[in-house]
Chains A and B, each alone.
Chain A
Amino acid sequence: MLIDVHAHFLHDRSPRLDWRERNASRLRAGERVGITVHVASILGSWGASSPIYFPSPADIEYGNDFLLALQRTHSARIRGYVVVNPNFEDHALAELERCLDAGMIGIKLAASRRADDPLLDPICRVAAARGVPVLHHVWQHRRRDYPGQEASDAIELGALAARHPRVNFLLAHIAGGGDWIHSLAAVRDLPNIFVDLSGSGVDGGMLEACVEAVGAERLLWGCDLTIDTGWAKLRYLEHVLTDSELELISWRNAARIFPPSAFPGD
C-alpha cells in the first residue's frame, strides 16, 4: 500500500485549460508508481475567481464539491481534504461539517491566515472532535512575507500544534522549497506534527535529516506537484530504511492518523 498524503486536482473553473489532462496524468502516474490512494485538496478556483491562498466561500464550496465528486467516481483511489478559509469562520465550520459528513478525511489549511492565528482554533477544535488531521501549507523558514499568501513556517505551525495536542498536523511539503533544516529543528520535539515529504526538492541529505529529526514514525510520503520526485524519494528510502520503516512512511503512519477505515483494507 502506498498513500500520497499531498495531492491536488484541478477542475473546470480553474485557470487551466488542461485540467482534465493534469488530473488524468496524476492518476496514470499514480498507477505506475503504485499509489493506492491520493489524499487531495482543491484550493478554491486556483486563482480564477479568488486568490489561491485566499479563496472565497463560493470557490471553496465549488472546489470541495468537485473533489467530493472525484472521490465518489474514484472511490478506491481518491480521498479528500476539506479546504476552508479561516477568515470566514461560520462558513468554514459549516463546510467542515458538510464535507467530513460526506466522506472527506482531513482538513487542508493553506495560507489564508498565519498558522498561529487564533482564527485557526475553532477549525482545530473540529479536527479534534472529528479525529481528522490537518495538512498545513508551510514555507520552510519564511524569512519575509510573500505576495499572495500569509504563509507560515514550522515555528508558527508548532505554536498551533502545541495549543491543540489532540490534533495531528502535517507539515506540508518539506521538499517544497525553503530551508528544511530550519523546519526539522522546529518540529523535532512536537509529537503531533508529522512531516510530509512531498515537494519538488530532492536534496541530497534531506531524507536522512528528516529521519534523524523525527524518525520514520512521523514521516509521511507524498508528491504534491511532482510525482517524479515523490517516486525518487521512495526509491532512495528503499535503500536506507528497513522494510518496516518504509511501510510506516508509505502508508502505516497515514493509516494511523487519518480516521479509521479511511483507506481500502484499513
Chain B
Amino acid sequence: MRIDVNTFLGAYPFRRVPGTSPDALLHAMDRVGVDQAWISHLPSVFWQDPAAGNPWLFETADRYDRLRPIPAVHPGLEGWQQIVGEARASGAPAVRCDPAYYGLEPAGPEMRALVAACSAEGVPLMLAVRLEDARQRHPNDRAGELPPWAVRTLIRGDPAVRLLVTHAERGFVEEVHFGSTPEESTRIWWDICWIWGPPEDHLQTLLRTIGVERFVFGTGQPLRLPETSVAKLDLLDLTGEQRAAIESENIQSVTLPPTQSAAKGRGRRPKLSGTT
C-alpha cells in the first residue's frame, strides 16, 4: 500500500505542467505504484477564495475511488469554520491552507484560529513549505515560503492540533523538530518529497535522528516527478516495516479512525460550501 499525500489537480498559473487532470494523475499513480492519492486543487491556491475549488475537488474524489480530497480553507474569509466541519463530516483526511499565497501571516491570528478549529474537529492541517524551487519561480510569483518558526508557533499554539507539512527540506525539518517539545513534535508529520537522498543522505539522516514514524510518502506531483520519492526510498536500506510505515501506515495514524471516516464519507456528504 502506497499513499501519496501530496498531489495536485488543475493548472498551475506560472508555467505549463502536463498531467494535471484526474485521469493523468491516475495514470502517473499506476506508473509509480501509488494506490491512493490525496488531492489538492492547484488553481485555487491562487484564487481570492481558495475554498471555491473545494466542490470540484469533492466531486472529483467522488468519481475516483483512489483519490481523497484535501479541501482548502482560508481562515480570513467569512464562513471558513464550516469548511473544517464539512471536511470532518465528509471524511476528508485533512484540510490545507497556504497562508503565504493567501496573503496571511503564517502564524497570525487567522492561522491560529484555524489551528484551533482543526484541533477541535480532529482534522489534520496540511501546510506546504513551497510549491517550487525559489530560484525558478516566476518573477510575479512572490508569495513567501512557509517559515519554520511558523510551524513551531502553530504546533505550540494548540495542544491537540496535528500538522502535515509538505515540501520541507532537511534543515526545515530539523529546526522545527528540535525546536519543539517532544510532545509537540509527535503531532507533526513530514512528507519526503523535498528531502535529499544520496550522496548527502538527508533523508537517511532524518530517519535516524528524528524517526521513521514522523515521515510519510508524498511527491508533489504533477509539479514534480513522482518517481523521485520512490527513488529516495529505493536508495535506502529500509526494513519492510519501515518502508510500510512511510508509505502508508504513518499517515493512516494521522487520519480519522475508520469508523469516523466512513469510507470517505460517501452517502453522508454534506452540502459543500465555499466561503463566497
A contact set with B: CB distance below 8 Å: 21-23, 25-26, 28-29, 32-33, 139-140, 143, 177-181, 200-205, 207-208, 225-229, 231-233, 235-236, 239
Contact = CB atoms under 8 A, between A and B. Distances in A.
B39 interface: no
Contact of B31 (A22, A25, A202, A239): A239
B225 A232 contact: yes
Nearest to A142: B135
Given A205-B16, A225-B199, A227-B199, A29 B235 contact: yes
Interface in B25-51: 31
Q: Chain A's interface: helix, strand, loop or mixed, by majority?
A: helix
Contacts of A22: 199-201
A236 B197 contact: no
Question: Which residue among A23, A180, A229 has the maximum number of chain B CB atoms within 10 Å of its CB?
Answer: A229
A30 to B, nearest CB: 9
Contacts of B196: 200, 225-226, 228
B204 to A, nearest CB: 9
B221 A204 contact: yes
A231 B227 CA distance: 8
A1 B16 CA distance: 33
A171 to B, nearest CB: 15
A179 B135 CA distance: 8
B228 interface: yes
A239 B136 CA distance: 26
Interface in B59-79: none
A201 B235 CA distance: 18
Closest 6 CB pairs of A and B: A228-B197, A177-B135, A29-B198, A232-B228, A232-B227, A26-B199
25 contacts: A21-B201, A28-B198, A29-B235, A32-B234, A33-B235, A140-B135, A177-B135, A178-B135, A180-B136, A201-B133, A202-B225, A202-B228, A203-B223, A204-B221, A204-B225, A205-B18, A225-B199, A225-B200, A226-B196, A228-B231, A229-B228, A229-B231, A231-B234, A233-B225, A236-B227
Between A25, A179, A204, the greatest number of chain B beta carbons within 10 A of the residue's beta carbon is seen for: A204
B226 to A, nearest CB: 8
A236 B27 CA distance: 13
B15 interface: yes
A177 B133 contact: yes
Highest count of chain B CB atoms <10 Å: which of A26, A140, A225, A228: A228
Contacts, number: 97
A227 B230 CA distance: 12
Given A205-B18, A232-B231, A25 B199 contact: yes
B262 interface: no
B112 interface: no
B231 A177 contact: no
Given A32-B235, A202-B225, A232-B228, A181 B15 contact: yes
A234 B197 CA distance: 15
B263 interface: no
B235 A23 contact: no
Contacts of B132: 203
A203 B224 contact: yes
A192 B200 CA distance: 32
A239 to B, nearest CB: 6
A65 B214 CA distance: 43
B10 interface: no
Contacts of A21: 201
Contacts of A32: 234-235
A179 B136 contact: yes
Contact of B199 (A29, A178, A181, A236): A29
A201 B223 CA distance: 10
A219 B130 CA distance: 29
Contacts of A225: 196, 199-200
Given A177-B135, A178-B136, A232-B228, A204 B223 contact: yes
A29 to B, nearest CB: 4
A40 to B, nearest CB: 11
A266 to B, nearest CB: 25
A160 B228 CA distance: 34
B19 interface: yes
B232 interface: yes
